[in-house]
């Protein structure tokens, strides 16, 4: 069994995709041991509760330094014997001591085809606004390992999505989620569980 922790900040539709894949037996020998949010009102915590998954809010600003936050989070996840940390719409930049503690065991979903539209400042709708402003005809999503940089770690899986005439950042975001993010995040976790990567 691959024990995961899912870190979230918002709506949690990617978390929901993982929960659904596990409950539908499409994602096998994977468990979500806990959901960690940096925001207490994140709807993702409600999704966790609805599915009997322990949820907790751990806020960076409650700690004296980024390092103390990183240490607390790493100790918390070690106590839960977590094998894989999944960042699913998690908007906190994790401190180096945390990344080192879980080196090679943290993955992130990013809503573009890296290396396009990624790095500092590219999150949420801003990614899709930039894709539309550049006029790309294809975008998509990427699951990658997390290293010390922003969206710089090794790529695990990508899926392309067509941009359509008349797209707004909102319609594009929705299509990228439905056609790419919710598909490749569970698939990448399964690959890791199967030690294919
Ligand atoms: C997703 O687009 C994800 O790729 C990005 O933030 C969004 C989170 O959505 N990093 P949700 O909370 O999973 O619904």
The per-residue pLDDT for range 117-132, each reduced to its tens digit, is 999 999 999 999 999 9
Which pair of tokens denotes residue 147? Answer: 């290293």
- Please provide the size of the chain in residues: 197
Tens of pLDDT, residues 66-103 = 999 999 999 999 999 999 999 999 999 999 999 999 99
Atom of ligand 1 nearest to the CA of 90: 10
**pLDDT value for 161:** 98
169 lines ligand 1 (CB under 6 A): no
**pLDDT value for 29:** 98
Q: How far is CA 50 from CA 18, 54, 188, 191, in A?
A: 14, 10, 24, 27
Give the phi and the psi of residue 148 in degrees, each rounded to 5: -70, -20
Which residues of the chain are modeled with pLDDT < 50? Answer: none
Q: How far is CA 11 from CA 43, 116, 155, 187, in A?
A: 5, 24, 24, 20
**pLDDT value for 125:** 97
124 lines ligand 1 (CB under 6 A): yes
State the alpha helices, DSSP H only, in the chain: 13-23, 43-50, 66-79, 96-101, 125-134, 169-176, 182-193
User: If you take atom 10 of ligand 1, which residue's CA is the nearest one?
Assistant: 89
**pLDDT value for 162:** 98
- How far apart CA 162 and CA 101 sit, in angstroms, is 38
Q: Are the C-beta atoms of residues 146 and 108 closer than 8 Å to each other?
A: yes
**pLDDT value for 86:** 98
* Partner residues linked to 5 by β-bridges: 34, 85
CA count, 13 A, side-chain hemisphere, 106: 25
Residue 98 in 3-state DSSP? helix
Q: How far is the CA of 19 from the centre of ligand 1 (A)?
A: 15
User: If you take atom 7 of ligand 1, which residue's CA is the nearest one?
Assistant: 89
**pLDDT value for 155:** 98
Give the phi and the psi of residue 63 in degrees, each rounded to 5: -115, 150
């Amino acid at each position: 069994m691959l024990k995961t922790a899912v870190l979230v900040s918002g709506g949690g539709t990617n978390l929901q995709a993982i929960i659904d894949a596990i409950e539908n037996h499409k994602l096998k020998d994977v468990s979500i041991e806990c959901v960690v949010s940096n925001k207490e009102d994140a709807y993702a915590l409600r999704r966790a509760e609805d599915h009997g998954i322990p949820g907790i809010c751990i806020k960076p600003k409650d700690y004296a330094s980024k390092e103390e936050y990183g240490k607390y989070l790493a100790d918390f996840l070690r106590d839960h014997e977590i094998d894989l940390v999944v960042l699913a719409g998690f908007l906190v930049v994790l401190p180096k001591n945390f990344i080192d503690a879980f080196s090679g065991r943290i993955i992130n979903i990013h809503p573009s085809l890296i290396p396009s539209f990624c790095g500092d400042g590219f999150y949420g709708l801003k990614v899709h606004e930039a894709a539309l402003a550049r006029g790309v005809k294809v975008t998509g999503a990427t699951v990658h390992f997390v290293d010390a940089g922003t969206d710089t770690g090794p790529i695990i899986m990508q899926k392309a999505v067509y941009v359509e005439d008349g797209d707004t950042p909102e319609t594009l975001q929705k299509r990228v989620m439905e056609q790419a993010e919710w598909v490749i995040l569970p698939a990448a976790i399964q690959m890791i569980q199967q030690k294919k990567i």
